[in-house]
Amino acid sequence: MRKLNFGYILILLLLLSCSAEKINLSPIGAMSGQNDMYSYSDRKNLIAYSSEITNLIASFPKFRNDAVNAEVAKLKYHLKDYIGAIENYNINGRNSAQRNFEKSYKKLQTLRKYLNNDDDQVLNRYLVRIKTNMTFLESNISKDSAATPIK
């Protein structure tokens, strides 16, 4: 009888110590209501374009010109800010990062004349791909400040 009572007490303590503190909802249930204005394909495109930009940032080559490398570093920084602002739905941060990106982009366009032909073509290829993906991102993002965040 004592062993049986002790067993029940042990099982009760075990059940109480392993209880969950909050319910784990599925991602689909947690997202309902938040992204009603974005369709599945829009969210998929946002992920695809931003991941393409981050892949380009990661694989950006080094050039022989130090001024170009310094401006590329600034461009990468502004692109990371831009992607972070999109993920956090920070409209002011996104606009600021986009303006800074455009300044760096224009400065790189003027610095391209100091590169040899091969480096110029490589830099141009990266800049075109980045600019294209940013244009696609902008076309998928709502301009309404009251819109819900992208998750």
Instruction: Write down the mean pLDDT value for the chain.
Output: 80
Rounded to 5 degrees, what are φ and ψ at 36?
-65, -25
Q: Where are the domains of the chain?
A: 34-140
Q: Look at 80-84, 90-94, 119-123, 140-144 and tell me which has the smallest mean pLDDT.
A: 140-144
Query: What's the pTM value of the predicted model, to 2 decimals?
Result: 0.67
Distance CA 20, CA 16 (A): 9
Q: Which of 137, 67, 138, 133 is nearest to 104 (CA)?
A: 67
Q: What is the pLDDT of residue 46?
A: 84
Q: Report whether 151 contacts 32 (CB < 8 A).
A: no
Element (DSSP H or E) covering residue 31: helix 27-31
